[in-house]
Amino acid sequence: MLRKTTTNNERFRQYTDRAADFLMIEATRDLPLTSKRIETPLGHTTQSVLKSDVVRFVAILRAGLALWPRRFLPKSRMSTIGIVRDEETAKPHLYQQKLDPAISGKKIILLDPMLATGGSACAALALLVQKGVEPADVTFVCVIAAVAGVLFLHQEYPSVKIIGAALDNHLTTSYYIYPGLGDFGCRYFGTD
């Protein structure tokens, strides 16, 4: 339903939220847990919960914000990296960064709904590595990836784990994922 041209912005956001929940379950599956004592109506028990202090989310602006799992990880911290892609060359240009000062040594979940050429993802990863993040500690989460983007990202950062909902085979001559779903950010934020 995300791919359909007739899906309105409200539905697009609802479908994205649902997909993001499943993607985040997979992305956080191997992260460290801690036991928490909880009271039940009849007594008490312990429950395993994600150690929120070991994970940081980093969104590639603006579309990456759509994948932030604040509903089931309300204490999670979000950093942002602003990258714009040159429409002619597909080269990424960094225009903003707001990173948690304590990001080094954390498990990072890097969010960008579309992995097309891999240029923006690699630019974000280069910045994170410069800040002390180990590539093996990064999980990249997207909704749709192009084969070319996956190959480029793994060539540059082979230890980064990639989680996505769909894999498309082609990029257009304008470097858009085909068949894709159009401009994710515009559809999600209602600026299409």
pLDDT band at residue 183 under the 50/70/90 scheme = confident
pLDDT band at residue 74 under the 50/70/90 scheme = confident
Q: What angle do CA 24, 25, 30 make, to 5 degrees?
A: 105
Phi-psi region at 190: left, alpha or beta (left = phi > 0; alpha = psi -120 to 50): left
Cis check for the bond before 71: say yes or no (omega within 30 of 0): no
136 Cβ contact list (under 8 Å, min separation 6):
159, 160
> Is 1 a member of any domain?
no
Whether 19 contacts 2, CB under 8 Å: yes
> Is 181 a member of any domain?
yes
Number of domains comprising the chain: 1
Q: What is the pLDDT of residues 127-162, one digit of tens each?
A: 999 999 999 999 999 999 999 999 999 999 999 999
3-state class of 106 per DSSP?
coil
Burial class, 70, CB count within 10 angstroms (exposed 0-12 / middle 13-18 / buried 19+): exposed
> Is 2 a member of any domain?
no
> Is 151 a member of any domain?
yes
Q: What is the pLDDT of residues 86-131, one digit of tens each?
A: 878 878 999 999 999 999 999 999 999 999 999 999 999 999 999 9
Dihedral in degrees, nearest 10, Cα atoms 136, 131, 24, 143: -90
| Domain carrying residue 182 | 9-189
> Is 62 a member of any domain?
yes
What pLDDT was estimated at residue 34?
86
pTM of model > 0.75: yes
Average pLDDT over residues 178-191: 88
> Is 52 a member of any domain?
yes
d(CA 90, CA 118): 10
Q: What is the CATH number of the domain that holds 36?
A: 3.40.50.2020
> Is 150 a member of any domain?
yes
> Is 26 a member of any domain?
yes
